[in-house]
């Protein structure tokens, strides 16, 4: 049979590669009697495929001919070539009745043992473990149209794994586009041996794309094996850019796999667990404990930090086969919930064979608990051990929500930020008995747009008695006495303690200034002011603390929403002076205008150390970034930030993203723009603070401990800088 290329008019019928009707129309317009290959024809496939499939003669003599499945077979000649090479037990499936009828008519007599079925490869009617080999030539590529998401691709790969025998092989011939390769790498990360090679092209061929053969072999569950690859950057491929992208992706994936194999407690996703990252979830493994992330954008409303615990004792009668224990943010730092030993106490007290501890954070504030439970229920169902016949819901348990009293001071809505709440709260005992917070009151600013995000939290303290002032003013006038008496009457009034930082990542931002401590010390000694720009005001707690902590910094805060600034002044004691000013406007435009203005000043002013702090949340969570907004980590702004810093200084970013791929994207962009990059990951939170610098001019590169000591001496408000600096990691 001839292999032909269809005319453009026929190709135009395939607007949607996942549509059955479109494929029926495509094959009907093509007519019958010839083959069509999208890429990689038999002469180039023969040697590598036969090497993978092995000696069909020996298998046939032993009466164990391999069962081969070819999903999305189309009108390719691949199956007939394999049949003629001696592999007779081939089952071809395609959801197009038109092409299956044509192929059956063409091959029924010449190749009687080959089978053809009309079937959707994402929902196959085969028993579990039916095939030794699944040979996919472009099927996954067709399902994974850019912009269509991964749902169909994951469904198909789940089916492929189901119908494959233990020790079976999944052979995927693909163009290895980034989104397709990413799915293959993640879905076959645990319990599969994977190899990748390029399919050679004839020198006369003018193909614009390189075809790759990715082979996955079922191995030991829970093991992440390093990928074997024959690809090298020095080789010649028909599309070098495409090949180099695959080589880089495989290198990055092997780094990930090595981290899993090293024994480090890597934070897994629910999907990782479903794929066998910690072994068979259906089986209770006494003493098994693993941290992971529950939920993602496509499958749930929210994401949650969680820990899976299998009881150490498996002999007693359990009250619950599997249960969920919810820990509110206010209690997450208690020993009982934050320590491994305490967590084992919880599962023992709950008398559950398996317990899923779910930790709520600021993202879940003000969300009705029924909504949280409804969101969690389908997620934790996949973690239930055994094969429960009944559809009984998994029970939920919960520590107290941590808030003893709540008083709402103001509810407001702005066109920019949306709904906001200012409230005073008193927490229950939240430190495991080592000191009660029950007498302390906190004031919180909550943004409703980010699922009830607690944007700022400040400590309220009472004014001290003014007896000494009363004694000094004994000779004052009657009017003054009256005013003094009024003051006495308000001596117990509450005010914001600006020596308190409610967010640990703010402490980390200040600790990271150890990187430029020598320059800060020199500025403080000479009486110079260090220019510090903070994008994002919030309740103003951080810039107020910064002003009191480092008196030699000149702070400009950029805030987009005037109402946020108004609430900061009205409820959080925010005030401006010569050292601290607020600019109302867009942060990106402010930096652009500042860069333009800097071009007109003298060189010494341009080259002075500067600090730029990005601490602003995103109103659009669809990008996977909670903080900062996506346009603040795109190349145009990063380049402007670099120019703003001129010869040195620090660009500090409060990064919040539960997506590892989004986080890697941000880090990659920063590496491309800035010469030096450091990270400080907060253990108890989802925040990561990144420190970037365009040069080493002001950096304490060789002695961070000394930098931390210098900074500690400069601080007017004590912080545990040295502990934070121990967690600082150099990324570039």
The CATH number assigned to the domain holding 711 equals 3.40.50.150
Statement: residue 470 has pLDDT above 70: no
Question: Do 448 and 316 share a structural domain?
Answer: no
DSSP state of 275: T
Question: Do 374 and 244 share a structural domain?
Answer: no
* Higher pLDDT, residue 63 or 94: 94
Q: What is the pLDDT of residues 666-722, one digit of tens each?
A: 999 999 999 999 999 876 566 899 999 998 888 887 888 888 899 999 999 988 888
Q: What is the pLDDT of residues 559-614, one digit of tens each?
A: 999 999 999 999 999 999 999 999 999 999 999 999 988 876 655 444 578 999 99
Whole-number pLDDT of residue 658: 64
Last residue of a domain, one of 260, 290, 325: 260
CA of 96: how far to CAs of 92, 116, 140, 250, 639, in Å?
12, 11, 16, 34, 51
Q: What are residue 507's phi and psi, to 5 degrees?
A: -60, -40
| Half-sphere exposure for 606 (CA within 13 Å, toward CB) | 14
Statement: residue 15 has pLDDT above 70: no
Segment 42-61 shows an average pLDDT of: 76
pLDDT-derived band at 1 (thresholds 50, 70, 90) equals very low
Segment 627-648 shows an average pLDDT of: 90
Whole-number pLDDT of residue 565: 95
Number of domains in the chain: 4
Q: Express as a percent the part of the chain with pLDDT over 90.
A: 44
Beta bridge partners of 397: 325
- Token digits for 526? 């000479």
Whole-number pLDDT of residue 437: 43
Segment 198-222 shows an average pLDDT of: 77
The answer as to whether 486 is a domain residue is no
Q: What is the pLDDT of residues 115-157, one digit of tens each?
A: 999 999 999 999 999 999 999 998 898 888 777 778 889 999 9
Statement: residue 9 has pLDDT above 70: no
Q: What is the pLDDT of residues 418-431, one digit of tens each?
A: 899 999 988 765 44
The answer as to whether 482 is a domain residue is no
Question: Do 515 and 423 share a structural domain?
Answer: no
**Residues, the chain:** 732
Last residue of a domain, one of 215, 242, 260: 260
Question: Do 680 and 532 share a structural domain?
Answer: yes
The answer as to whether 480 is a domain residue is no
Q: How far apart are CA 377 and CA 395, in angstroms?
A: 9
pLDDT-derived band at 26 (thresholds 50, 70, 90) equals low
Q: Sort strands 289-294 and 304-310 into parallel, antiparallel or unpaired.
A: antiparallel
Statement: residue 288 has pLDDT above 80: yes
717 CB neighbour count, 10 Å cutoff: 14
Question: Do 136 and 120 share a structural domain?
Answer: yes
291 CB neighbour count, 10 Å cutoff: 14
Entry pTM: 0.54
Give the 3-state secondary structure of 432-478: CCCCCCCCCEEEEEEEHHHCCEEEEEEEEEECCCCHHHHHHCCCCCH
The answer as to whether 655 is a domain residue is yes
Contact 293, 306 (CB under 8 A): yes
CA of 169: how far to CAs of 84, 194, 576, 593, in Å?
21, 10, 68, 59
* Higher pLDDT, residue 466 or 527: 527
Statement: residue 512 has pLDDT above 70: yes
Question: Do 301 and 423 share a structural domain?
Answer: no
The answer as to whether 489 is a domain residue is no
Sheet with 418-427, strands from edge to edge, namely: 403-414, 418-427, 441-447, 453-462, 494-496
- Token digits for 506? 């703010």
pLDDT-derived band at 406 (thresholds 50, 70, 90) equals confident
Question: Do 520 and 653 share a structural domain?
Answer: yes
Question: Do 217 and 164 share a structural domain?
Answer: yes
Give the 3-state secondary structure of 512-528: HHHHHHHHHHHHHHHCC
Question: Do 520 and 658 share a structural domain?
Answer: yes
Whole-number pLDDT of residue 431: 43
Give the 3-state secondary structure of 369-410: HHHHHHHHHHHHHCCCCCCCCCCCCCCEEECCCCEEEEEEEE
Question: Do 297 and 408 share a structural domain?
Answer: no
* Higher pLDDT, residue 126 or 27: 126
Q: Sign of the CA dihedral 700, 704, 706, 709? A: positive
Contact 239, 210 (CB under 8 A): yes
Contact 509, 654 (CB under 8 A): yes
* Of 89-93, 473-477, 626-630, 662-666, highest mean pLDDT: 89-93
Q: Domain range spanning residue 416?
A: 403-427+440-461
Segment 319-333 shows an average pLDDT of: 86
Question: Do 105 and 230 share a structural domain?
Answer: yes
Give the 3-state secondary structure of 623-683: HCCCECCHHHHCHHHHHHHHHHHCCCCEEEEEEECCCHHHHHHHHHHHHHHCCEEEEEECC
pLDDT-derived band at 478 (thresholds 50, 70, 90) equals very low
Q: How far apart are CA 505 and CA 724, in angstroms?
A: 10
Question: Do 407 and 376 share a structural domain?
Answer: no
The answer as to whether 2 is a domain residue is no
Whole-number pLDDT of residue 259: 81
The answer as to whether 394 is a domain residue is yes
* Higher pLDDT, residue 722 or 12: 722
- Token digits for 596? 């333009």
The answer as to whether 499 is a domain residue is no
């Amino acid at each position: 049979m001839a292999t032909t290329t269809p005319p453009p008019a026929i190709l135009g019928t395939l607007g949607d590669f996942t549509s059955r009707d479109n494929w029926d129309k495509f094959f009907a317009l093509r007519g019958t009697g010839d083959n069509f290959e999208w890429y990689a024809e038999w002469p180039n496939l023969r040697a590598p495929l036969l090497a993978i499939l092995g000696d069909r003669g020996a298998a046939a003599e032993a009466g164990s001919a391999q069962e081969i499945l070819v999903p999305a077979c189309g009108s390719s000649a691949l199956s007939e070539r394999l049949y003629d090479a001696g592999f007779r037990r081939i089952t071809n499936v395609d959801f197009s009745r038109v092409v299956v009828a044509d192929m059956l008519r063409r091959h029924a007599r010449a190749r009687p043992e080959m089978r053809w079925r009309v079937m959707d490869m994402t929902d196959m009617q085969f028993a579990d473990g039916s095939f030794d080999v699944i040979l996919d030539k472009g099927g996954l590529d067709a399902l994974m149209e850019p912009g269509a998401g991964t749902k169909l691709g994951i469904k198909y790969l789940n089916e492929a794994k189901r119908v494959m025998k233990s020790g079976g092989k999944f052979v995927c011939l693909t163009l290895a586009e980034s989104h397709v390769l990413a799915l293959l790498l993640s879905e076959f990360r645990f319990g599969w041996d994977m190899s990748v090679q390029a399919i050679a092209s004839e020198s006369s061929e003018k193909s614009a794309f390189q075809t790759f053969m990715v082979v996955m072999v079922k191995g030991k569950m829970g093991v992440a094996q390093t990928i074997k690859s024959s690809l090298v950057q020095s080789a010649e491929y028909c599309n070098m850019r495409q090949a180099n992208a695959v080589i880089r992706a495989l290198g990055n994936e092997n780094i990930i796999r090595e981290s899993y194999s090293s024994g480090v407690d890597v934070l897994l996703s629910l999907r990782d667990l479903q794929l066998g990252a910690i072994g068979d979830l259906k089986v209770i493994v006494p003493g098994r404990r693993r941290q992971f992330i529950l939920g993602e954008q496509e499958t749930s409303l929210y994401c949650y930090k969680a820990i899976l615990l299998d009881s150490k004792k498996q002999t007693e009668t359990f009250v619950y086969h599997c249960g969920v224990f919810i820990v509110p943010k206010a209690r997450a730092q208690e020993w009982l919930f934050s320590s491994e030993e305490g967590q084992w106490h919880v599962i023992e007290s709950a008398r559950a064979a398996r317990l899923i501890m779910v930790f709520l954070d600021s993202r879940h504030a003000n969300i009705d608990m029924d909504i949280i439970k409804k969101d969690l229920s389908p997620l934790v169902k996949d973690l239930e051990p055994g094969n429960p016949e009944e559809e009984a819901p998994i029970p939920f348990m919960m520590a107290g929500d941590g808030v003893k009293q709540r008083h709402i001071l103001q509810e407001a809505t702005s066109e920019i930020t949306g709904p906001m709440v200012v409230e005073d709260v008193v927490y229950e005992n939240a430190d495991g008995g080592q000191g009660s917070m029950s007498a302390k009151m906190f004031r919180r600013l909550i943004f409703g747009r980010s699922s009830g995000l607690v944007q700022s939290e400040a400590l309220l303290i009472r004014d001290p008695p003014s007896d000494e002032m009363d004694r000094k003013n004994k000779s004052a006038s009657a009017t003054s006495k009256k005013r003094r008496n009024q003051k006495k009457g308000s001596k117990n009034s509450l005010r914001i303690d600006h020596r308190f930082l409610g967010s640990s990542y703010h402490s980390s931002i200040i600790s990271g200034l150890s990187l430029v401590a020598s320059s800060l010390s020199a500025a403080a000694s000479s009486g110079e002011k260090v220019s510090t720009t903070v994008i994002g005001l919030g309740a103003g707690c951080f810039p107020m603390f910064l002003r009191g902590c480092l008196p030699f910094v000149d702070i400009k805060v950029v805030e987009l929403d005037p109402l946020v600034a108004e609430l900061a002044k009205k409820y959080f004691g925010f005030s401006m002076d010569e050292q601290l000013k607020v600019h109302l406007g867009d942060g990106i435009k402010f930096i652009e205008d500042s860069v333009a203005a800097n071009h007109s000043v003298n060189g010494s002013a341009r080259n002075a150390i500067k600090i730029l702090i990005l601490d602003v949340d995103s109103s659009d969570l669809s990008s996977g970034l909670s903080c900062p907004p996506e346009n603040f980590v795109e190349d145009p702004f990063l380049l402007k930030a670099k120019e703003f810093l001129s010869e040195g200084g620090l660009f500090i970013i409060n990064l919040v993203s539960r997506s590892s791929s989004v986080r890697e994207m941000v880090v990659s962009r920063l590496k491309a723009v800035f010469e030096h990059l450091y990270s400080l990951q907060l253990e108890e939170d989802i925040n990561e603070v990144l420190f970037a610098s365009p040069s080493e001019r002001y950096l304490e590169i060789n002695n961070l401990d000394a930098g931390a000591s210098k900074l500690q001496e400069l601080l007017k408000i004590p912080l545990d800088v040295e502990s934070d600096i121990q967690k600082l990691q150099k990324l570039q």
